[in-house]
Structure 1
Amino acid sequence: MHPVIARAPTARPQPDPYDVTAEFYDILQADEDETRVRHLYGREVSKARLGVLDIGAGTGRVTLMSLAESRVDVHAVEPARAMRTSLMTRLAALPAGQRERVTVHPHALDEAALYAVADVAVCHNTVACLSPAARHALWPAIGAALVPGGSLFLQLPPARLPTRNVLRVLPEQRVGEHAYGGSMVMSTAGDRIRTRVDYWVRGAEGVLREHSETFWMWPASRSQMIGDLERHGFVPLPGHDDPAYLAVTLRAPW
């Protein structure tokens, strides 16, 4: 009689963040986002003299804009493999001279060990999805990656929890015989915002595929964000009052 050997249960691998969204983001949202990032940050990125840091690069809208608007090295930080795959595919289509100026870091910024590599940092469409603990780790990592006097341009998270469910429909886009569409619903769940995104693909015979992904966001007011950043050596940059983003600069050490 053979002894029974107990086997440890096999851990189910965690789904890659943005595994679903990566397929749909570029076709449904990237054109609008490309216009937005150029409007919000293009002028500031063009002033970079040392380097540009793109925190949460996603599929590369800020990265590509930075390569076009500046002549400095660009550091694209994107820990999510699904989004980074789209970013790398997009970079592969660039001329060799532009590709040589961009480095993709497959980690969160606090794990990337970047020191004094940039004088301009952009954090677009990222901070809202970071928990307070993750934000606490991010601020000193940005401070390390920037040189003193460097600037950070940060898209603000929602200032407060929604009082009711908020629906946004993403306009359908056609690719050959198929139409791609989606919608997102934001709702309050405790101290967080739950964002459920539903995607679909339709053909002549009706819906061919449906997928969903849920994201969590943590609200914070502009004044809260300024206070958090001030504790890590950042102060507001004069002349930047756009409510869509916060501009701060890293104080030089005494």
Structure 2
Amino acid sequence: MNIYLTALSAIVKREALRFVHQRERFIAAMVRPLMWLLVFAAGFRAALGLSIIPPYQTYITYETYIVPGLCGMILLFNGMQSSLSLVYDREMGSMRLLLTAPLPRWWLLFSKLCGSTAISILQVYTFLGVAALFDITVEPWGYVAALPALLIAGLMLGALGLALSSFIKQLENFAGVMNFVIFPMFFLSSALYPLWKMAESSPLLRDICAVNPFTHVVELIRFALYLRLEPLALLWTVLALVAFMLLAIWGYDPERGMTRRKG
């Protein structure tokens, strides 16, 4: 057990040091959601009037509505960026060295996932702190209740990034693949508008959003911030986490997965 914990600590520390030395990564993680919160929301506020929907007990501003979706955006982008580092490490050879350690491969991948998720959660709480400066707040206990939701959501989106990184052979292909994952997942979800609003324009599009795992991530965070549990969102997020993690473990198996030709 000490060996497992030592490996976990070392990999998490490596992720933290990499993040500390990449300050622009933190700035970029803040700029995207703050642009939506402070700039785009001003334009969408009038066009997307919101009714009283769970978990809200009264009418809310559009800025308040999109905060959980922007928290999910931070988790999504950071999960994908963490998978980019895996592709880079694999090309440089350090990933191959890590995976030859005398520990189960699933534990090494899980340790990598824990490191990236911890950084993602730190970024989310920083964003929530900045949002509070603009009077976009929730109950104090809501920030505490959101932690388990952010943890599960971050692990799921990070596992998705791990699974994708096992299929990407070269660093140059990463951007193209990510564009077909990040933007559809984000825009085809309840992050920016409720599903009932989507159904008014296209029931088919609403159904697509309803099966999007990112929609359930956003709703899980949204309800948690208001001290409520959304069982369906929790179920689908956990199922997606298990599925993506199993796919990542398979993908990094040198005998069966997509990395077998890398040697």
Greater fraction of residues in strand: 1
- Pairwise same-fold verdict (TM > 0.5): no
Higher helix proportion, which one? 2
If asked which structure has higher relative contact order (CA below 8 Å, sep 6+), I would say 2
